[in-house]
Amino acid sequence: MPFRPRYTGLIDKYRDRLPIHDDTRIISLGEGNTPLIRLSNIPRAIGKEVDIYVKYEGLNPTGSFKDRGMTMAVTKAVEEGSRAVICASTGNTSASAAAYAARAGITAFVLIPEGKIALGKLAQAMIHGAVILQIRGNFDQGMQLVKEVAEEAPVTIVNSINPYRLQGQKTAAFEIVEELGRAPDYHCLPVGNAGNITAHWIGYCEYSSASGDHVTAACTFCKGHCMYAGGAVVGNRPKMLGYQAAGSAPFMRGKMVDNPDTVATAIRIGHPQSWDYAWTVKEESGGWFDECTDAEILAAQRLLTEKEGIFCEPASAASVAGVLRDIANGKIPEGSSIVCTLTGHGLKDPDTAIGQCGEAIVSIDAALEPVRDAILGNLR
Ligand code: AN7
């Protein structure tokens, strides 16, 4: 039997494209290397000739894409001698920060909006031993407080304003290009702070000869941290499409939103931290922003679970909801290849999932007859 080297995480795999020294102690949980799954039933159901892939980032160690950025941010924080990290979070960043801080043996402080984080994420932050500061306010207020307190206390911010976060997250684009042999025509993501859409663009630009030599915004974003001279791999880059929840869509309003609200609590963000970057990504890539209602988001989540067997959290489904609409209305032409990032696992938010499926449970007596009748009545 042939042996393969053990996969040891994205920093090890891409160390020549990341700001890492040979002797840096790497804090990793084996993140990255997530499946790129080709949808088969949904394209057939909508009757369109399109190749849709989903990058299932929910299969990262803590169940979201944040782990790609967190392995870098915590590795660098430890290297720089930090004993504590801090973040504001709608949930996933806090779960990831808590886990990587535990792994590193340092403290994680997390500011979360009271009552507005999904149960699985709260459980993660608690069980990993983070110090949880639940604020009577929303994510945007928490983010502002984190920036202010970091001026006065010895803590490293691990939100995506930490440039190492985007460096780690750019590796998702590398993996996609390596698997497809080219960049897709379209790459679709849910947008909250817009860090992830920016990180993907950095990755695609770094891997593409179409970017020119250190002239695009990719190198403005990286603040000198990227290894852009590392050499191009393919010739093309995707159009980047960013989808927001309608009640939380500052990029659609063209200005910050003060009271964002959506069932997709992960992207309940009205003051995106990567505001300028995201507009540049849209312009450079020739992409667009759009918004989806909560009903569209939940319908897309359910479509993925029932037609493809893939369970993502509501925020993640925004990318699929948006892309299905743009395929139907012809903005995305037939023949296109499309990648949607499914940013977080469906198990993060069991309450919303169960709330959608009340009719799924049949209560019966513990006897053969009702069990048999229920089976015969539900065959398809
Ligand atoms: C599942 O955890 O901001 O546009 O504090 O958890 O890069 O912000 C989460 C964001 C999409 C949006 N999907 O990504 C946090 C947080 C999921 C998310 C986003 C988030 P960005």
> Following DSSP, what letter does each residue of 201-234 receive, concatenated?
HHHHHHHBGGG-SS-SHHHHHTTT-S-GGG---B
> Following DSSP, what letter does each residue of 82-106 receive, concatenated?
-SEEEEE-SSHHHHHHHHHHHHHT-
| Nearest ligand 1 atom, CA 344 | 1
Amino acid code (one letter) for 207? Y
- Listed as ranges, residues in the chain with pLDDT below 70 are 1, 210, 212-232
**CA dihedral for 224, 227, 228, 234, sign (positive or negative):** negative
Mutation test of ligand 1: which of 92, 275, 312 has the most ligand atoms closer than 8 Å to its C-beta?
92
C-alpha 27 – ligand 1 centre gap (Å): 21
Amino acid code (one letter) for 190? P
Residue 5: predicted pLDDT? 86
86-97 per-residue burial string, b: 16 or more CB within 10 A, e: under 16: bbbbbbbbbbbb
C-alpha 302 – ligand 1 centre gap (Å): 20
Ligand 1 contact, 93 CB (< 6 A): yes
Task: Give the helix/strand (H/E) hosting 36.
Answer: strand 36-38
Taking the CA of residue 372 as centre, how many other CA atoms within 13 Å lie in the half-sphere pointing to its CB? 3
Ligand 1, atom 5: closest residue by C-alpha: 89
Residue 222: predicted pLDDT? 60
283: how many CB neighbours lie within 10 A of its CB?
A: 11
Amino acid code (one letter) for 308? E
Residue 214: predicted pLDDT? 46
Q: Which residue's entry shows tokens 């015969």?
A: 376
Residue 221: predicted pLDDT? 60
366: how many CB neighbours lie within 10 A of its CB?
A: 6
Residue 215: predicted pLDDT? 44
- φ, ψ (nearest 5 deg) of residue 52: -110, 125
Residue 230: predicted pLDDT? 52
